[in-house]
Structure 1
Amino acid sequence: MTGVSETVSDPARRPVVLLVNLGTPEAPTPSAIRPFLREFLSDRRVVEMHPLLWRPILEAFILTMRPGAIAPQYRKIWTEHGSPLMHWTLRQGQRLHEVLGDEVDVRVAMRYGSPSIASVLDQLHADGHRRLLVLPAYPHYSGPTIGSVLDEVARWTLRTRDVVEMRCVRSFEDDPAYIDALARSVEQHWEQAGSPAFAAGERLIISYHSIPVAMHEGGDPYRSQCETTSALLAERLAVPKGGVVITYQSVFGRAEWIGPATIDTVRDLGAAGCSRVDVICPGFMADCLETLEEIDQLNRETFTQAGGGDFHYIQWANDSEGCVQALAAQVRRHTAGWIDLA
C-alpha cells in the first residue's frame, strides 16, 4: 500500500478542510430570520456593547421589527435552490473536493445557523478525523468574521477531551491566486462590455463590507487589508489614476462605520452624470443579500435614479474557477507537511 492511499484510508491522518461562511436564514420569512438574527447579533464580536445593555434593545426592538423589514429583501434573492449563500458555499465545497482530490475531505459549516461549526466538528471527531484546517470564506481578517469563527472553534475544543491537530487560515488578502481571480473576472467583464470603465468620469468601485469605526480604531486590521487587495488589483489591471474608488457597504445601527459608503458614492457619481460604474465586491466569496440585493438592486437603482448611466455588478466568486482555485491555494499552503497537494 502506498503512503498516499494509507493517508486517504486513515481518517486520523486525512486532513479535513472546514469551509466556514457566515450563515443564512433557512427561509425568507420573519419567523426564520428572527432566530438567525438573534444568534448573529448576540455575538460579542459583532456587537461589542455589554449584553446587559444590548440584550434588551435586541429583544424589545430589533428582533420585533427588523425580521419583517428585511424578509422582502431576502425574498428578492431567494432561488429554487434556496439561499444563494448556502447554495454557493456548498458548491464551493464540492468544487474544492474535485480540485484537491481524495487526499483531503471538505466539509461546509456556517458560523450562525445550520450546519453549525460545533455539529460538523462533532461528526468529524466521531468519524475519527484528527487533522483540521479551518478555512473561513473571508479573504480579509476582522474580529466579527474570522475572529468569530475561530472563537467558535475554540469553544468546541474546550469541551473536547481528544483535541484535534488544527491549523487556521487567518486571511489571504494579498495571495496571488486570489488577486488573479479578481482581476480575471474584471478583465472578462471588460471584454464582454467592449472596453474598461475608464472613459471620462467612469469608475471601477471596489466595495467591501464596512465595520464600525470603533473596531478599526481599536486595532482591527480589516481596513488595511482591504486597501492592500485594492492596490494589488488596481496595479494588476493597470487602472489609471483616479479610476478606482474604494467604498464600504452594509452598515447597521447608529454607530459610526468606516467609509466612504458605497450607496453615497454611487449616488454622488450618478448626480455628477457618471456614464458608467463597474462594481466588484472582493470580500464576498458567495453571493448573498449584500451583493445581490444591496449592490445589484439597491445601489443600481440609486445610481440610475440620481442620473447615472450604466451600472454593472461584476460577479467573481461563487463556484467560479478563479474563486475555487483561490481557496485551493490556501489549502495547499496550509496542509503542507500533512500531505502533498502540489
Structure 2
Amino acid sequence: MDDATRPDHAPASHPAIPREKVGVLLANLGTPDNTDYWSMRRYLSEFLSDQRVIDYPKWKWQPILQGIVLSIRPFKSGAAYRTIWNTEDDESPLMTITKAQTAALTAALAERYGEEGVMVDFCMRYGNPSTRSKVRKMVEAGCTKILFCPLYPQYAGATTATANDQFFRALMEEKWQPATRTLPPYFDSPAYIEALAASVERKYAEMEDKPDILVCSYHGLPFRYLTEGDPYHCQCVKTTRLLKERLGWDDGQITTTFQSKFGPEDWLQPYTVEEVARLAEAGKKKIAVIAPAFSADCIETLEEINEEIRESFEHAGGESFTYVPCLNDDEEHIAALAFEIERNLQGWLD
C-alpha cells in the first residue's frame, strides 16, 4: 500500500488508509491447478458439490459424488485436460486466456479512467485464484467500490448466480465492506452480438467451401431448471436469433444446441453431440460450431467440441467440421466487455 496515508487531522497512531479506488473483479468458472488425480479431485469436488450446479439433497448426492464419481471422473477429466494443457505456462487454457482478458481490460479501462482510478483483477468460482482472496486483495488496496463481473453472457443459476453467491460470501468476511454492484447478463448487447458476428465472418472468410450450417452450442442445464424459472434457455435462443439477424441469414443456416449433459435427467435439447450426427446423416456434410455461452476457450470447447463432438459428426458421415473459437481476448470482445463495464460504473466513475 505505497499510496496509503493517514487521514487529515488524524493522530499519529491512526493506521494509514490506502487511496480510494474502484475495483472491477472479473470472474470465470475455474480450473484445476494441475491434471493429476488429486488436483482434479479437489477441483471436481468443489465444483460438483455446489448446489447451484447439482441441486440434489446433500445426503443423497454426496455419498455418490465422494464414493463413486470422484473415484473415477478425475482420471477421465485429467486425461481430457492433458490434451489441451498449456505446458509452457503449466496452466489450463482458461487461466491463460482469463489473464490475457484481464490485462486487455486493464489497459482499456486505464485509457478511459486513468491508471490510478480502477483496479482490474480476476478470480475463479472454483479453484484458484479464489474469489475470497481477490476480494481481500481489493479491499486491502483501497477499493471502496467493487463491480463484480461474471463472464457469462447468458444468466444461469449454475453460472452467474453461483459466482455472485461466492462474491457475497467473501464480502461477509470483510469488516469494512465495499459498496458493490454485479454485472448483468449481456446476451443481447449489440456490442457482444457484433463481436460474435465478426468472429464468424472472419472464420468464414478463411474458407473456400462455406459450412452448410452454423451450430450454436451452449452449455446445457437440466430441463427442470427451465421449468423452475431459470431464464438461461430463453437467453441462449435470443442470442442465436440476434446473431442470425446480424449476419443476415435465414433459419436454415443456423441452429441452437446444448452440450455437456451430466447425470440421468433430461437436459435442454437438442443435445449437440446427437444433433451434429443427425445433421451429417441429413446431408449437412459441412458444419461450423460456435460456443456463444463461453467467454473463453476451455475444456468444454477445446476438448468436448473440438474432439468429442467433432468425432460424432465425422462418424455419422460429416466431411468438414470447423470450430469457431470463443471470443477470448479478441479486440472486439474486449471492447464489448469494456462497454458493459463502463455502463455499470456510471455514478461511480464518469
TM-score interval, smaller chain: over 0.9
Equivalence map 1:1-342=2 (5 Å): 13-79=20-86, 80-81=88-89, 82-101=91-110, 102=115, 103-194=117-208, 196-197=210-211, 202-340=212-350
**Cα distance per residue 1:231-276 (max 9 Å; x no partner):** 1000000112311110000111112111100000111112233221
Shift of 1:139: 0.4
The residue number in structure 2 matching 1:5 is: none
Equivalent AA in structure 2 for residue 207 of structure 1: S
Distance 2:326 2:291 in 1: 8
**CA contact under 8 A between 1:12 and 1:131: conserved in structure 2?**
no
1:11–1:130 CA contact under 8 A, matched in 2: no
How much does 1:12 deviate? 5.4
The size of the alignment, in residue pairs, is 327
Work out the CA distance in 2 between the residues paired with 1:327 and 1:119. 23
- Compute the displacement of 1:132 (Å): 0.2
Deviation at 1:36, TM superposition (A): 0.3
Q: Supply the AA of the counterpart residue of 1:183.
A: A
Q: What is the RMSD computed on CA atoms of the aligned residues?
A: 1.3
Task: State the one-letter code of the partner of 1:159.
Answer: E
User: Could you state the TM-score of these two structures normalised by the residue count of structure 1?
Assistant: 0.93
Question: Which string of whole-angstrom CA distances, capped at 9 and with x for unpartnered residues, describes residues 48-74 of structure 1?
Answer: 111111111111111111101221111
Corresponding residue SS for 2:169: helix
- Give me the whole-angstrom Cα distance separating, in 2, the residues matched to 1:219 and 1:24: 28
Q: 2:6 maps to what in 1?
A: none
Counterpart of 2:9 in structure 1 is: none
TM-score normalized by the length of structure 2: 0.91
Q: For 1:260, what is the secondary structure of its paired residue?
A: coil
Alignment partners' CA distance in 2, 1:271 and 1:176: 35
Of 257-266 and 318-327, more deviation after overlay is shown by 318-327
Deviation at 1:195, TM superposition (A): 5.8
How many Å separate the matches in 1 of 2:120 and 2:290?
A: 27
What are the superposed Cα offsets for residues 6-58 of structure 1, whole Å, 9 maximum, x if unpaired?
Answer: xxxx9654211100000001111221100001111111101111111111111
> Unpaired segments of 5 or more residues in structure 2?
1-16
Contact 2:81 2:299 in 1 (8 A): yes
* CA contact 1:272–1:307 (8 Å) conserved in 2: no
Larger Rg: 1 or 2?
2
Q: Distance in 2 between matches of 1:75 and 1:277?
A: 27
Gaps of 5+ in 1: 1-9
